[in-house]
Structure 1
Amino acid sequence: MVKTAADKWKDTVIKYRKNCQKILEISDNIRYAGIVNAYGRTLTGMIKPNLKPLLQSEDFKNELFVISTLISLRRDSVGAIGKLEHVVLQHQKITIVILQKNNVTYYVSVNRKEKDLEKTIASIKKTI
């Protein structure tokens, strides 16, 4: 049986969801893992159970739009400076780690008390 485009999309989203679950399992300090397309739309995402989101829904949509715009604008400079490895945004309460693979953006929030952020980032890269 030949898979339709809808079936292929469903399989892709399931794969992304499994990646998010694996990312959440890397560290107890990872709060959220999500995957965003080039337009800032969430393809899938999950927050650790029993945690309250820090941003309201509309604020989070705006955050993802800003991130996707940043990533899209950076694509033009890949030839000159190389492929983006990751971005770390340090906030007072959390750290945001942004990675890109296959034209989607992984958005991961991590508690500031994470001891070895570089090790955590390396583990996320292996997972995706």
Structure 2
Amino acid sequence: MVKTPAEKWKDAVVKYRKQCQKILEISDSVRYAGIVNTYGRTLTGMIKPNLKPLLQSEDFKNELFVISTLISLRKNSVSSIGKLEYVVLQHQKITILVLQKNDVTFYVSINRKEKGLEKIISSIKKTI
């Protein structure tokens, strides 16, 4: 039986939600895990229970647009400098981790005070 595009889309979103859940379970320091398409639209995302988002809805949309634009512009340099592994953005309050796989971008926010960032990055890379 051949799946319809709608069924394929639903299966992909379910898979992405499971990946986000697994990312949240990696560490208590992980605040948010989401997956964004090439246009900066959220495919799925979840914040750790009982946490208040740091950004308002419109600010968060703008943040994701900037990230997706960055990732899109970097594609032209892959042949020269290699595939992007990940991007870390250090802010005063949080650390943002951006990874890409199969034309989707994983956007993960982590508490700034986290000392084992490399371990978390490694675990997330294995999860996706």
TM-score over 0.5 for the pair: yes
Please name the residue that 2:117 is paired with: 117
Shift of 1:43: 0.2
Q: Distance in 2 between matches of 1:54 and 1:123?
A: 24
Q: How does 1:5-24 map to 2 (within 5 A)?
A: 5-24=5-24
Please name the residue that 2:27 is paired with: 27
The aligned amino acid for 1:59 is D
Which stretches in structure 1 are left out of the alignment for 5+ residues? none
4+ residue stretches of structure 1 with deviation over 4 A? none
Which stretches in structure 2 are left out of the alignment for 5+ residues? none
Q: Distance in 1 between matches of 2:70 and 2:86?
A: 12
Q: Distance in 1 between matches of 2:115 and 2:102?
A: 29
Q: Does 1:100 align with 2:103?
A: no
Tell me, what secondary structure is at the counterpart of 1:49? coil
RMSD in angstroms over aligned alpha carbons?
0.5
Once the two structures are superposed, what CA deviation does each residue of 1:87-106 show, in whole Å capped at 9, x if it has no partner? 00000000000000000000
Q: Distance in 2 between matches of 1:92 and 1:103?
A: 29
Tell me, what secondary structure is at the counterpart of 1:88? strand
Q: Does 1:82 align with 2:82?
A: yes
| TM-score, normalising length: structure 1 | 0.99
Tell me, what secondary structure is at the counterpart of 1:59? helix
Tell me, what secondary structure is at the counterpart of 2:98? strand
The aligned amino acid for 1:118 is E
Tell me, what secondary structure is at the counterpart of 2:92? coil
Of all paired residues, the percent bearing the same amino acid is 84
The aligned amino acid for 2:64 is L
Please name the residue that 2:59 is paired with: 59
Q: Distance in 2 between matches of 1:113 and 1:125?
A: 21
Shift of 1:2: 2.3
| TM-score, normalising length: structure 2 | 0.99
Please name the residue that 1:127 is paired with: 127
